[in-house]
Amino acid sequence: MTTIPEACKELVIRARAGDQNAMALIIEVGKAARNGSETAKLSAQHIEEYCKNNPPPKPSDKNVGNWSERMQSYVNELQSNFGEEELGESIVVLLPMMGQYGINTLANGIRLSNDIIAEISAEFGSEVEQHAFQFAVANADQTDRIKKNVSKLNKETAYAVLVGCCVGEARNIQLVRLPQVPISIISEKAAEELDV
Amino acid sequence: MLIIPALIFGALTTGSGIAVYKRSKRNKIVGMTPVRQKLFEALLWHQKEPKKLYKMADKFEKEGLLEQATKLRKLAAIYELPAEKKAERREIFKKAMASTNRDAVNNTAQLFDDDGCVGAAAALRKYASGLPPT
């Protein structure tokens, strides 16, 4: 059974990852606590404590996260789910917070087959989000262009695109290691210099 | 009657012309300016013709920008490499992209950079930035 502190921790992680339901729940807890609900007060206290003790990772230049104990814990959590049923969920929650560390953990961890991609895709609630995710995976060689236009989408779809870009980049790293695959799938400029 | 004012006018305009020329020579821009930096980066990342790169390298050298000139020449030489040499470098790049050793990947990126392969170096550095410290 999930305890209150565990539930609060999960809520914060989900909210930081962009889950609007989690954000709304935290707001409701705050409102209820201010209105005098004892349970809500306890939850709010746990949420506040967790946020204080675990500040969100600071995004540095080019969305590359800073290596820290927290990042190590995210990497460990992601790695522990390789081959497990929870892989899709942990990818959706953790990957956008991890920047390049998440991409590399995935690229160096598990073969991103079409089945795995489909599993991750199924984690998204609506068909629109699933399509957005799949589009981003398939066009990860144009991540910069896609990210520029992401602000035009609603939050949920934009989040799906963001996860798709990370998964797609990880898959492209795996592919570029194969001898017959052109380098252009990860960098046009590098391909001009090295591809025959 | 009109000769004297014409002579004075002529002397004044010639004098000011010389002064402008001397000032422009004295204020001649040397070294790297923001505009030159932009031009250099555009050449480095977008120019693919070795001939044009060599030509611009000469111009940069004339302005005293030797480091930039060398980089442009190295890049031009990369584009002219024979297929076998390119294949060798390609293999090294692919091996580095499969490594999980941050320092090793960064060192390989530096080697590519020294060689003029700025794109390959940038791609490797991006990958290295997501590897845990060794």
Chain B interface mutation, best of A177, A192, A194, A195, highest count of B Cβ atoms under 10 Å: A194
CA distance A172 to chain B (A): 11
In the beta sheet, which residues pair with residue A59? A65
Going residue by residue through chain B (134 aa), what tens digit of pLDDT does each one get?
556 666 565 665 556 556 655 555 555 566 788 899 999 999 999 998 999 999 999 999 998 899 999 999 999 999 998 889 999 999 999 999 999 999 999 999 999 999 889 999 999 999 999 998 87
Here the tokens at position A51 are 């946020």
Going residue by residue through chain A (196 aa), what tens digit of pLDDT does each one get?
668 888 888 888 877 766 777 888 888 888 888 888 888 888 888 888 888 777 765 544 333 446 778 888 888 888 888 888 888 888 998 988 898 999 999 999 989 999 999 999 999 989 999 999 999 999 998 888 888 888 888 888 999 999 999 999 999 999 999 999 999 999 999 999 998 7
What does the pLDDT read at residue A25?
87
* Residues of B in Cβ contact (< 8 Å) with A99: 130
What 8-state DSSP symbol labels residue B117?
Answer: -
From CA A112, how far away is CA A102, in angstroms rounded? 14
Here the tokens at position A140 are 């990860």
Indicate yes or no: CB of A183 within 8 angstroms of CB of B48: no
What does the pLDDT read at residue A102?
92
The helix/strand/coil state of B94 is helix
Q: For the whole model, what pTM was predicted? A: 0.69
Using CB atoms, which residue from A177, A189, A191 is nearest to B97? A177
Burial of residue B115 (CB within 10 Å: 0-12, 13-18, 19+) is: middle
